[in-house]
Amino acid sequence: MRWFMIDEHNNLIKYAGLGKKSITYYIEQGYYPFEDDSVPETYLIYDPDGFIRELTSLEKKTKALEDEYKLYTEMYTMNPDLATRVREYKYLLDVVDCKYDPVSISVNNFTQKVLVSENVAPDEKAAYFMRAQSLWLQGVVFNLSCLNIQNADVFAWENFSKLVNYLPTE
């Protein structure tokens, strides 16, 4: 069982200093219990009815989207050049009609897209691919590294569609 206090904004504050007094005493002092230790604290909320409950599935999904929006917004705010590099790389993908998911942007798939693309002249395909790889490593991955993103190359590869989705407007 975990115990929490509630602040003036209805945020939960974990309390670990319970002594040997009765449960009733702690409830009377304004502490609220939550019995299921398997539920992460980020999925708990103080309900206006006066108890702590687990978020519903919809609330969890909403919270995840809000957290995701906040993460990407902060990344672009802290490093505006990241948005420029993502836009540039997105453009290179768009020219060869390549989607933004990890499978599509893998080296093999992207190379294949460039090779069969009619939007890139045959004598420019190698240079196009090299430009894209350079922009990926020295633009997108480098800027994520500057934000102290661990394994920035993997993060970029796994989350490029989200980087595109949360691009700030120009």
Nearest to 75 by CA among 136, 149, 135, 151: 149
Residue 6 scores a pLDDT above 90 = no
Q: Does residue 68 share a domain with residue 32?
A: no
Q: Does residue 86 share a domain with residue 16?
A: no
Last residue of a domain, one of 36, 55, 74: 55
Q: Extract the tokens encoding 169.
A: 């407007």
Q: What is the pLDDT of residues 70-129, one digit of tens each?
A: 999 999 999 999 999 999 999 999 999 999 998 888 888 888 999 999 999 999 999 999
Compare 121 and 22 and report the one with higher pLDDT: 121
Helix (H, G, I), strand (E, B) or coil at 150: coil
Q: Does residue 80 share a domain with residue 41?
A: no
Query: Do the domain assignments include residue 93?
Result: yes
Q: Does residue 38 share a domain with residue 105?
A: no
- Model confidence at 19, in pLDDT bands (50, 70, 90)? low
Mean pLDDT, the chain, rounded, equals 90
Contact criterion met (CB below 8 Å) for 146 and 79: yes
What's this model's pTM, rounded to 2 decimal places?
0.75
Q: Which domain covers residue 44, as residue numbers?
A: 2-55
Cα–Cα distance measured from residue 93 to residue 35, given in angstroms and rounded to the nearest whole number: 50
Q: Does residue 68 share a domain with residue 51?
A: no
Q: What's the confidence (pLDDT) of residue 48?
A: 80
